[in-house]
Amino acid sequence: MKKGLDLMRLARGFLAVAGLMCAGLASAQDAAPPSKPGQLIWVEPSAAPVFPQTEEEKKAGMVEGRTLPAPELLQPDLDPALPRYIPTKGLKLKAHFRAGVSDVLPGLAAAWVAAFRKYHPGFQLDLVKPYAGSLGALELIKGNLDLVFVSRELKPTDISGFNAKFGYPPFSVPISGGTWRHFGFLDAIAFMVNPDNPIRKLSFEQLDAAFSSTRLRGGKPIKTWGDLGLTGEWANRPVHLYGIKPWNGFEEFVREHVLSTPQGRGEWNDKIHYDETFFNIARRVAADPEALGYTGLSAIDSEVKIVPLSVEGGPALSPSYENVASAAYPLSRVLYLNTNARSGAALNPALREFLRFVLSREGQAVVRKQGIYLPLRVGQVARSQAYIEGK
């Protein structure tokens, strides 16, 4: 009997990342749903506790780059529709650039340059230390760097400072996927509730209505779980919101992708319980029956239920490895290359050619070979290419 109870406790402890997965679990390309849609209880071990870097670790990362995590056991295939890289006919590149780079990216950036130089040996790109994307963005504004590889969206102050000096924002284009749940390496973001909460899915409109004061997606203010569709004893229970204090890379990503629309930048409401960092959010949600919060997958180290998310009437998808690797999950993240150009048409020809390579099948094969970050899918590449072409 005791052995059985121990197994039950162990299984319950593994529910941290699992939660209830709805019909859209696997990917946007799933087969037709069953005639009676249901849910799958997916038992997945929670992430190991993670902790902020020490000052020594930060200093070492700025000199040598942060230590890479162990790759995922499974690696996604390259999207077969990715375009092949064919060097521009007659182009003889001779160019020398200086680049800033986040401390989690020097290895990947150097691998891209080495692979590109096999086609264009006259191309040279120096990765300038210290390795820190935030410092690189400031040096880009000063004109001391030609480009910056950054593992997150730029800070609003970086963009406004650049705009104030040049009269236009920096040219920022996605060049790789992030990771699934590697701590510090651009893990996907999840919204979660207490395990006792019966909510089955949430839409971006509902999340915006709950977390923002602007509600740019058109939803009505959310105060109770009944406002989010629950009935019975849950209908009048309050929604307690948990998030990360601005400014933070996780917070900025959620603000840009959930709260903001083409009509404007979303603003957080004043009912959110803020933490300075993402490390404690899952623990707070696990301890509060009425909680709704978000954090990176690498920091989900407590017993919570992850909620599948939908966008504009699409399927509700969980942050399973397959959904993140295929970029079907809407809060999968990407890496950026930033440079000083008013538009794609104003890009230096050598840098444009380098970006053509990075966004090609051969360039994304470099990502897959490293085994940490996730290669872009063809839809993501098409959006980056359209941005480069000014479309």
Cα 231 to Cα 153, 225, 228, 308: the distances in Å are 38, 8, 9, 19
Token pair, residue 173, equals: 């284009």
Tell whether 293 and 255 lie within a shared domain.
Answer: yes
Q: How much is the pLDDT for 36?
A: 55
- Picking from 142, 89, 170, the residue whose alpha carbon sits closest to that of residue 356 is 89
Asked if residue 28 is part of any domain, the answer here is: no
> Cα 194 to chain center, whole Å?
23
End position of a domain, from candidates 275, 293, 325:
325
> Cα 19 to chain center, whole Å?
20
Q: Supply the DSSP symbol for 268.
A: B
Tell whether 219 and 292 lie within a shared domain.
Answer: yes
Q: How much is the pLDDT for 39?
A: 62
What band does 24 get if pLDDT is binned at 50, 70 and 90?
very low
Asked if residue 56 is part of any domain, the answer here is: no
Tell whether 208 and 268 lie within a shared domain.
Answer: yes
DSSP, residue by residue, 306-357: EPPEESTT---B---HHHHHTT-STT--EEEEEE--SSGGGS-HHHHHHHHH
Query: Could you give the CA distance from residue 211 to residue 251 in angstroms, rounded to a whole number?
Result: 11
Residue 316 predicted with pLDDT over 80: yes
Tell whether 341 and 251 lie within a shared domain.
Answer: no
Asked if residue 161 is part of any domain, the answer here is: yes
Mean pLDDT of the region 21-34: 39
Tell whether 320 and 217 lie within a shared domain.
Answer: yes
Is 313:218 a contact under the CB 8 Å cutoff? no
Rounded to the nearest 10°, the torsion over CA 190, 296, 46, 33 is 30
End position of a domain, from candidates 304, 325, 346:
325
- CATH classification of the domain holding 375: 3.40.190.10
- Picking from 151, 181, 198, the residue whose alpha carbon sits closest to that of residue 319 is 181
Q: What is the mean pLDDT of the chain?
A: 90
Tell whether 125 and 193 lie within a shared domain.
Answer: no
Asked if residue 154 is part of any domain, the answer here is: yes
End position of a domain, from candidates 325, 346, 365:
325
Tell whether 143 and 197 lie within a shared domain.
Answer: no
What band does 21 get if pLDDT is binned at 50, 70 and 90?
very low
Tell whether 294 and 237 lie within a shared domain.
Answer: yes
pLDDT (tens digit per residue) in 250-261: 999 999 999 999
What band does 384 get if pLDDT is binned at 50, 70 and 90?
very high
Cα 108 to Cα 92, 255, 364, 368: the distances in Å are 25, 27, 11, 10
b (16+ CB within 10 A) / e for 159-187: bebbeeeeeeebbbbbbbbbbbbbbbbbb
Q: How much is the pLDDT for 37?
A: 56
Asked if residue 106 is part of any domain, the answer here is: yes
Number of structural domains (the chain) is: 2
pLDDT (tens digit per residue) in 322-349: 999 999 999 999 999 999 999 998 999 9
Q: Are strands 95-101 and 40-41 parallel, antiparallel or unpaired?
A: unpaired
When comparing pLDDT for 12 and 97, which is higher?
A: 97
- Which domain, by its residues, includes 203? 185-325
Tell whether 171 and 195 lie within a shared domain.
Answer: no
% of the chain with per-residue pLDDT over 90: 84
Tell whether 302 and 350 lie within a shared domain.
Answer: no
Please report where in the chains the tokens 């651009």 appear, as a residue. Answer: 186
**How big is the CA angle at 329 (ends 325 and 331), to the nearest 5 degrees?**
105
Tell whether 270 and 377 lie within a shared domain.
Answer: no
Query: Could you give the CA distance from residue 262 to residue 286 in angstroms, rounded to a whole number?
Result: 34
